[in-house]
Amino acid sequence: MERKKYQEIVKKYTPKENRIYNGLIAFITGGIVGVIGELLLNFYAYIFHISTKDASSFMIVTLIFISAFCTCLGFFDKLVNFCKAGLIVPITGFAHAMMSAALDYKKEGLVTGIGSNMFKLAGSVIIFGVCSAYFFGIIRILIFGG
Amino acid sequence: MIYLNAFIFCGFICLIGQIILDNTKLTPGHVTTLFVVIGAFLDIFDIYDKIIKWAGAGAMVPITSFGHSLIHGALDKASDFGIYGLFLGMFDLTSTGIVAAIVFAFLLSLFFKPHD
């Protein structure tokens, strides 16, 4: 009985998240990240006189550096709290996960802290990406012949 | 025009991610992992290449392009070496992103302290 009452009270006072507002914010911020990527892509293609396909790696490295650096300065976490999926789903979220894991475990030492925990959050992306790419690659070779 | 396409596609992927986060108990880790698998899956039928042509960087920035690049590099090598080529070429195209993330995260973590 006591527990039931407690849960009712908790339910009453937990803030209700506005899902439409969250979705709109994620859509807009995610779109802005995409536009920034496109701007960087054209910028590098123009500066270095290379094709947009080659410029894409420059663009990815720039975005990763920006998000890692902003995580170090401390305000990227606040941005992620505000934008949520708008910054988690782009490649910035991958860099943010690695950077914050590296910072959190820094006090445990270089090897046992940073070295073994850096992929704690981002490792699942690489492992599932590689495994799924391998199996889908086999399927594609068997069906379409490569 | 491609800027608008990039805005729409990248925003749309993030919107799907936010809907999954809000309506299920999955964590951000689950969502990014799911998107990587979807990106790899879409490359079986060459769908993602068409999206990249349409949306440009809007399709390269989301984490789905990570899965797409993994399978794309693997298939490039597989055309020369058969199924064994999948081992050779898996990281060909994504190595920039992974190496950049590792190097920056390591170097910057030496100089900065964690914030609460």
Q: Which residue of B has its CA nearest to A104?
A: B114
pLDDT value of position A1: 62
| Identity of the residue numbered B38 | I
Q: B-contacting residues of A 61-120, CB under 8 Å?
A: 61, 63-65, 68-69, 72-74, 77, 84-86, 88-91, 93-95, 97-104, 106, 114, 118
pLDDT tens, B36-56? Answer: 999 999 988 889 999 999 999
Rounded to a whole number of angstroms, the distance from the CA of A96 to the nearest CA of chain B is 9
pLDDT value of position A9: 80
Could you say which residues of chain A have pLDDT below 50? none
Size of interface A-B (CB pairs under 8 A): 246
Cα A14 from Cα A6, distance rounded (Å): 12
Cα B74 from Cα B88, distance rounded (Å): 7
Kindly list the distances between the CA atom of residue A39 and the CA atoms of A85, A88, B111, in Å, as whole numbers in the listed order: 21, 20, 30
* Predicted-complex ipTM score: 0.92
Rounded to a whole number of angstroms, the distance from the CA of B43 to the nearest CA of chain A is 8
Residues of chain B with C-beta less than 8 angstroms from the C-beta of A79: none
Cα B32 from Cα B30, distance rounded (Å): 6
Each domain of chain A, given as residue ranges in start order, spans: 2-104
pLDDT value of position B105: 93
Given pLDDT bands bounded at 50, 70 and 90, which one contains residue B116?
low
Question: Average of pLDDT values for B14-28?
Answer: 92
- Please write down the HEC assignment for all residues of chain A: CHHHHHHHHHHHHCCCCCHHHHHHHHHHHHHHHHHHHHHHHHHHHHHHCCCHHHHHHHHHHHHHHHHHHHHHHCCHHHHHHHHCHHHHCEHHHHHHHHHHHHHHCHHHCHHHHHHHHCCCCCHHHHHHHHHHHHHHHHHHHHHHCC
pLDDT value of position A4: 83
Each domain of chain B, given as residue ranges in start order, spans: 2-111
pLDDT value of position A74: 86
Residue given tokens 């302290």 in the structure block: B113
Given pLDDT bands bounded at 50, 70 and 90, which one contains residue B12?
very high
Q: Is the dihedral of CA A31, A35, A36, A38 positive or negative?
A: positive
pLDDT tens, B56-96? Answer: 999 999 999 999 999 999 999 998 998 898 999 999 999 99
Chain B touched by A47 (CB under 8 Å): no
Return the ∠ at Cα B37 (arms to B31 and B91), rounded to 5°. 115
Mutate to test the interface with B, among A82, A83, A136, A139 (most CBs of B within 10 A): A136
